[in-house]
Amino acid sequence: MKRTLQITVLLLGVTVGGFAQRQPQKLPAEQEIFLKYGADRLGKRQDENMKKFRDNRLGAFIHWGLYAIPGGEWNGKVYNEAAEWLKVWAKIPTNEWVKLMEQWNPTKFNPKVWAKMAKKMGVKYVKITTKHHEGFCLWPSKYSQYTIAQTPYKKDILGEMVKAYNDEGIDVHFYFSVLDWSHSDYRYDIKSKEDEVAFARFLEFTDNQLKELATRYPTVKDFWFDGTWDTSIKKNGWWTAHVEQMLKEILPGVTINSRLRADDYGKRHFDSNGHLMGDYESGYERRLPDPVKDLKVTRWDWEACMTVPENQWGYHKDWSLSYVKTPLEVLERIVHAVSMGGNMVVNFGPQPDGDFRPEEKELANIIGKWMSVNGECIYGCDYASWDKQSWGYYTRKGKDVYMIVFNPPYSRHLMVKTPGNTKITKAVVLSGKEVGVKEIAYNEYHVDMPAKDPGAPFVIKLQVEENANTSNKYREALT
């Protein structure tokens, strides 16, 4: 936290949305150290752009690059590890890898079809890999020789996607890997003067590419940085703070993930005083916080991202090599994230021909059907702060509390424990009928299952009366 802002905030005792906006592991204020490149603010951003980011809740990730062409196979050997890292697994030199550009010609690619599929799935934003670790750019960057312009496809495929998604009312976020395997000036660490000079050139190149992206595609709403874990970047925390500021000057309101940032001491995501850097936390990748034990995450904005197979982001031709989540498992992770005040981004790895694999189309379809009935328990919803029950998850929007039931009990009574002075006045299944509610003990209710078992996860919307005059008519046990 910068010193002047830090003092102001501490004097004002800022709280936003009812939470003291600090991490539990923070240092006591008087022990905080001075940081030039630490957090820029305490607490959640409350402006309209951030609110939109938060309310969107459900996004899709698109990992598309040269790696889609081999799809995990090189010289007849199939590698089970992440397909977008094949260059590393198969130890392929850059000059050979970039020859894949000659084969980049996705004849089935239709951005309108992609955008319609996302719309039907109910995603409100799409994160696109503008450049992954391999260095290949989906836009015709004038700073690189490895771009879409040098492929048989030639056209600005990123621009086509941005337009198509925006036309469907879907926000576009840019994934950008700072780590760039194709660039001779990239360094994993800075160990010599030569490294320092080369890496300075690399940072300038990266600045130029980022400025190019921000000015060519001014409707972009978010930059999501990746490949920022190397020591070279941790030793240049100043640069990560500079990038955030630079992008925010070009695109006021843009949101930026915590993964970009390192502070003066190379501490990432959270600075050395324990404060979140960037606008939202982006450390939950292929995992989620525990919905009972890890409630600290409800104090800041965060976004999780998830693969459908265990760890494949880019297209891999053989999904049978690892566990593939079912649509219901994907759905549960979406609900789980939102129930804890987070966003969820579900990954898609398009084929080299520009189509999606059948499993991904089916997944998008099933999630979309569910969202079209139940989306109101996801969009604009937040952590409800009611005690989690074993039947599923709660989300909340204003006065409405949603029960999202994944594990219906044999008793057919869904246990609900309300916070003090809160009464449930009505319970209705979304797109269904009202169900019975009975107070069974002080601040404990049974909400009935729908008469006909929905056979799929369902949502019950609760109307509640807060600050109600509830009295305990059940005498406490004397023990």
313 binds ligand FHN (CB under 6 A): yes
Pick 129 or 151: Cβ nearer ligand FHN: 129
Q: Quote the least distance from Cβ 283 to ligand FHN, whole Å.
A: 9
Decide the pairing of beta strands 423-429 and 434-435: antiparallel
Q: Three-state secondary structure along 18-76?
A: CEECCCCCCCCHHHCCCCCCCCCCCCCCCCHHHHHHHHHCEEEEECCCHHHCCCCEECC
Pick 22 or 63: Cβ nearer ligand FHN: 63
DSSP class of 156? -
Q: Quote the least distance from Cβ 65 to ligand FHN, whole Å.
A: 10
Tokens of 137: 């750019």
Q: Quote the least distance from Cβ 50 to ligand FHN, whole Å.
A: 21
Q: Quote the least distance from Cβ 269 to ligand FHN, whole Å.
A: 12
Q: Quote the least distance from Cβ 468 to ligand FHN, whole Å.
A: 44
Given a contact cutoff of 8 angstroms between Cβ atoms, the answer to whether 137 and 131 are in contact is yes
Measured distance CA(452)–CA(454) in Å, rounded: 6
Which residue do the tokens 């925390």 mark?
237
Per CB under 6 A, the list member of 84, 180, 263, 360 interacting with ligand FHN is 84
Nearest to 89 by CA among 344, 343, 311: 311
Q: Quote the least distance from Cβ 310 to ligand FHN, whole Å.
A: 13
Q: 13: Cβ–Cβ under 8 A, 6 or more apart, which residues? A: none
Given a contact cutoff of 8 angstroms between Cβ atoms, the answer to whether 333 and 89 are in contact is no
Per CB under 6 A, the list member of 39, 82, 251, 464 interacting with ligand FHN is 82
∠ CA 175-180-184, nearest 5°, is: 155
Pick 45 or 127: Cβ nearer ligand FHN: 127
222 binds ligand FHN (CB under 6 A): no
Measured distance CA(439)–CA(447) in Å, rounded: 9
Pick 230 or 285: Cβ nearer ligand FHN: 285
Pick 200 or 321: Cβ nearer ligand FHN: 321
**Which residues in the 249-288 window bind ligand FHN by CB under 6 A?**
285
Strand extents, DSSP E, 117-221: 125-131, 171-177
Pick 22 or 268: Cβ nearer ligand FHN: 268
Site string for ligand FHN, 54-73 (x = CB under 6 A): ---------x----------
Pick 87 or 461: Cβ nearer ligand FHN: 87
Q: Give one DSSP letter per residue of 79-122, joined into a string.
A: --S-GGGHHHHTT--HHHHGGGGGG---TT--HHHHHHHHHHHT
Residues binding ligand FHN: number (CB under 6 A): 7
Q: Give one DSSP letter per residue of 404-441, joined into a string.
A: EESS--TT-EEEEEPPTT-EEEEEEETTS-EE-EEEEE
**Which residues in the 350-389 window bind ligand FHN by CB under 6 A?**
none
Site string for ligand FHN, 111-130 (x = CB under 6 A): --------------------
Q: CA 311, 376, 124, 43 torsion: positive or negative?
A: negative
Pick 297 or 437: Cβ nearer ligand FHN: 297
Q: Terminal CA-to-CA distance of the chain, rounded, Å?
A: 50
Q: Quote the least distance from Cβ 313 to ligand FHN, whole Å.
A: 4
214 binds ligand FHN (CB under 6 A): no
HSE, side-chain direction, 13 A CA sphere, residue 374: 27
Measured distance CA(244)–CA(223) in Å, rounded: 9
Tokens of 230: 């190397």
**Which residues in the 143-182 window bind ligand FHN by CB under 6 A?**
none
Pick 82 or 121: Cβ nearer ligand FHN: 82
Q: Quote the least distance from Cβ 135 to ligand FHN, whole Å.
A: 13
**Which residues in the 281-310 window bind ligand FHN by CB under 6 A?**
285, 305
Closest residue to ligand FHN, judged by C-beta, is 313
Pick 40 or 84: Cβ nearer ligand FHN: 84
Q: Quote the least distance from Cβ 366 to ligand FHN, whole Å.
A: 23
Q: Quote the least distance from Cβ 372 to ligand FHN, whole Å.
A: 28
**Which residues in the 317-346 window bind ligand FHN by CB under 6 A?**
none
- Residue environment code for 138-167, b if the CB has 16+ CB neighbours within 10 A, otherwise e: bbbbeebebbbbbbebeebbbbbbbbbbbe
Q: Quote the least distance from Cβ 432 to ligand FHN, whole Å.
A: 37
Pick 53 or 225: Cβ nearer ligand FHN: 225
Given a contact cutoff of 8 angstroms between Cβ atoms, the answer to whether 212 and 236 are in contact is no
Per CB under 6 A, the list member of 212, 226, 279, 332 interacting with ligand FHN is 226
The maximal CA–CA distance of the chain, rounded, in angstroms, is 80
**Positions in the binding site for ligand FHN (CB under 6 A):** 63, 82, 84, 226, 285, 305, 313
